């Protein structure tokens, strides 16, 4: 049974935990550096990216998380998690992990009342995926090692770079566990 951490500083970490539990993973909520020990993978949830970044700095998680992800820990970030993983933003300044070679535009699809749902064709996933976009970002620029797995209106909304997956949307709110399964499937066999 894989041990998957869910960064639990702010945001919808409980929904990710329920999804991972359905898939047979053991889930650990991560709030302190000691919670990172022994993880097989980690999820960085949606929420408010500025708050997540500031709390990660306050609880001294930024550097240990960065080292683990750079060392190959399978990682999945949704919405604010995608922002937090990125190397840069199109505007504003906030703490970032800088491990995913993308530039992200926050709230790119609009404000809360412009949230939407869309059917997505995701490379390698088969049947379309129902994406839930809430104050969602999009990827404005991708580095050479980044694969774009899905787009909306030609804007990347799902990317992969080696051990890191990122989505602008919230699979944890849909009941479709296929993207979380991709994370679990990326855990190296022992």
Residue 129's SS3 state is strand
- Strands of 100-105's sheet in order across: 86-89, 100-105, 138-142
Q: Which tokens hold the place of 6?
A: 């869910």
What sign has the CA pseudo-torsion 125, 22, 134, 163?
Answer: negative
CA atoms within 13 A on the CB side of 55: 16
Q: Which residues are catalytic?
A: 79, 170, 172
Give 54-81 as a 3 state SS string. HHHHHCCCHHHHHHHHHCCCCEEEECHH
């Amino acid at each position: 049974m894989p041990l998957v951490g869910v960064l639990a500083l702010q945001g919808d970490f409980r929904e990710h935990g329920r999804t991972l539990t359905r898939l047979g993973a053991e889930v650990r909520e991560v709030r302190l550096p000691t919670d990172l020990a022994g993880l097989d993978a980690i999820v960085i949830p949606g929420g408010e990216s500025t708050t997540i970044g500031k709390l990660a700095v306050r609880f001294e998680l930024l550097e240990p998380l960065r080292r683990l992800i750079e060392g190959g820990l399978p990682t999945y970030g949704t919405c604010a998690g995608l922002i937090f993983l990125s190397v840069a933003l199109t505007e504003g300044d906030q703490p970032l992990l800088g491990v995913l070679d993308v530039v992200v535009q926050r709230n790119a699809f609009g404000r809360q009342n412009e949230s939407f749902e869309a059917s997505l064709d995701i490379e390698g996933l088969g049947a379309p995926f129902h994406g839930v976009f809430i104050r969602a970002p999009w990827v404005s620029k991708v580095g050479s090692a980044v694969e774009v797995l899905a787009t909306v209106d030609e804007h990347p909304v799902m990317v992969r770079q080696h051990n890191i997956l990122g989505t602008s949307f919230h699979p944890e709110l849909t009941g479709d566990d296929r993207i979380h399964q991709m994370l679990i499937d990326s855990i190296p066999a022992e």
